[in-house]
Structure 1
């Protein structure tokens, strides 16, 4: 069977994933659902990721390996994996996470049965570097509501966006602007998908999110919290470095004045404006935002402070270079 006829496309964006990627690929290949293509988009890895992926691609014609000439940032690499896909359904896979053997099968059964569901995922629990159980992820959402404004408001709550690793209707992704290059890009993507249809969460622990020092969350959260990461409520009470996330999602943001929290707010509002909702539903989304975002207003002011710091630093660097060139 040719890749163009596969029902499911699986996108695996990766950068320097040699430590866990074999286990992740094996987990996909051992799924009970086998009618898929696996697209690996390597973001210019500098370790042995390329060698490992080419080894797998040579053994299984369902696997296609692509390598970017340079690191294009997380968002563009995720999007590239989707753009290379052909399936009716699509799923992103992280190089370090694992799935139960029947995860995909059960997700596709739900999507096949109910056309109002655009994304299907499952309960989640955390595993450590050795794959051993740490704890369950206990944050649940009412994203199965028939009302899009309720799904939207649910996803405004701070969370870890694990739903993005569910199985999604490819047509729904094409109707959204994909993953954008800003902080909270995954959360904004989920907001936009939720405005198109319901999410379904399988009431079984079939997705295993790996917790380790190299993951993105570890890079942008305070070290004292990560040392006690078993406390989910405490972790969620502290916002990560969204400037750092914006650079991680899009490397072109590095060193720029980007107002990350203003950008996030703007993208949330744009999500409502460009959605297919009627004006009453859009108004309901807007009216629900203040309550959900209460307590985060100071972050907009924080952006202004950060912009001032960058401007001051750039000004100092300019005068230092000018002084050297002028012999001063």
Structure 2
């Protein structure tokens, strides 16, 4: 059995999947398997998967008979894995060759850590790193002039569980820590990704209550911006992208269930659980007030006040 399983859920990923696979196969850490789950793609993704599977025995490809939706496919690649360490990889991101060595090294050196990651840089469609402005600590999109700040690597790196929980709620804007390397036995004690936009932060909130995160400061994880990225979808398109079951549901109720349910079954004590409930309520109310104050009560009513929600106008990355 390999030490690490890397799960790649993909749908119509022909433009960027080869670059991701090349960056993973170039890793200095070699003891891993790659599990690709094709979500019934209609482009050249199946052919690309078979080509790489023939090229390297560590790659194993699976194909769903129908599109399950992005959330179900993300959870499926974890269910297919068996190694003691697990990592999700979005098909359009990239990794420096030292990324896996850095993450696995952190986990081996620190038994109390449940998740290891690195700093993040942003790249464009051509895999070129966006210009970085030292004064503001932000990456700048040359096309639009917009600034983007990566999540702080130190999120979740504290011995106090409720502090880690609070940091995920308030500072994990992009949720990039979910693409770190996680101990499988710990991830099994979460609900994985629930079915709503922003569920990456709900899963990270559960992980934060189970143990510490640790990140190497070097930006070895390269998050890609491109025209077809999932956070460019509007609310209806995003909902259909995340799930294809056609069920109608209340986004707010699912968010309530996920965030208020996160402390359940976690080894943190009754008082700490009560504090977590209060933190979720306070932070949610604060964001709702901000949205209403900005003159947009409709977004607040649809549930964007809850932590981890994705505002179509200010949307962060949703797993896809």
* TM-score with structure 2 setting the length: 0.82
CA distance in 2, matches of 1:154, 1:245: 26
Residue in 2 that maps onto 1:261: 252
| SS at 1:205 equivalent | strand
Residue in 2 that maps onto 1:175: 189
- Listed one character per residue, the Cα deviations across residues 33-85 of structure 1 (whole Å, up to 9, x for unaligned) are 00000000000000000001101101211110000000001111111111111
Does the 8 Å contact 1:11/1:82 carry over to 2?
yes
| SS at 2:33 equivalent | strand
Residue in 1 that maps onto 2:166: 153
CA distance in 1, matches of 2:188, 2:23: 27
Gap change, CA 1:300 and 1:130, over 3 Å in 2: closer
Task: Compare 265-274 and 286-295 and name the one that shifted more.
Answer: 286-295
Does the 8 Å contact 1:246/1:260 carry over to 2?
no
Alignment of 1:118-133 (within 5 A): 118-133=114-129
CA distance in 2, matches of 1:60, 1:138: 33
Matched, 1:93 2:59: no
- Unaligned 5+ segments in structure 1 are 221-240, 304-328
Gap change, CA 1:281 and 1:246, over 3 Å in 2: farther
Does the 8 Å contact 1:184/1:245 carry over to 2?
no
- Listed one character per residue, the Cα deviations across residues 173-225 of structure 1 (whole Å, up to 9, x for unaligned) are 111122121221111111111111111111111000000011111114xxxxx
- Unaligned 5+ segments in structure 2 are 133-138, 140-148, 290-296, 304-320
Residue in 1 that maps onto 2:78: 82
Greater share of residues in helix: 1
Does the 8 Å contact 1:183/1:264 carry over to 2?
no
Whichever of the two has the greater Rg, that structure is 1
* TM-score with structure 1 setting the length: 0.80
Residue in 2 that maps onto 1:280: 271
CA distance in 2, matches of 1:259, 1:267: 13
Does the 8 Å contact 2:115/2:183 carry over to 1?
yes
Gap change, CA 1:57 and 1:173, over 3 Å in 2: same
CA distance in 2, matches of 1:244, 1:16: 16
* Root-mean-square deviation (Å): 1.7
Alignment of 1:104-119 (within 5 A): 104-119=100-115
Residue in 2 that maps onto 1:302: 302
Q: How far does residue 244 in structure 1 lie from its aligned partner after superposition?
A: 4.8
Does the 8 Å contact 2:37/2:77 carry over to 1?
yes
Does the 8 Å contact 1:155/1:191 carry over to 2?
yes
Residue in 2 that maps onto 1:251: 244
Q: How far does residue 296 in structure 1 lie from its aligned partner after superposition?
A: 2.0
Residue in 1 that maps onto 2:209: 195
CA distance in 1, matches of 2:79, 2:225: 28
- Listed one character per residue, the Cα deviations across residues 66-122 of structure 1 (whole Å, up to 9, x for unaligned) are 000000011111111111111110011111100110100010000001111111111
Matched, 1:50 2:63: no
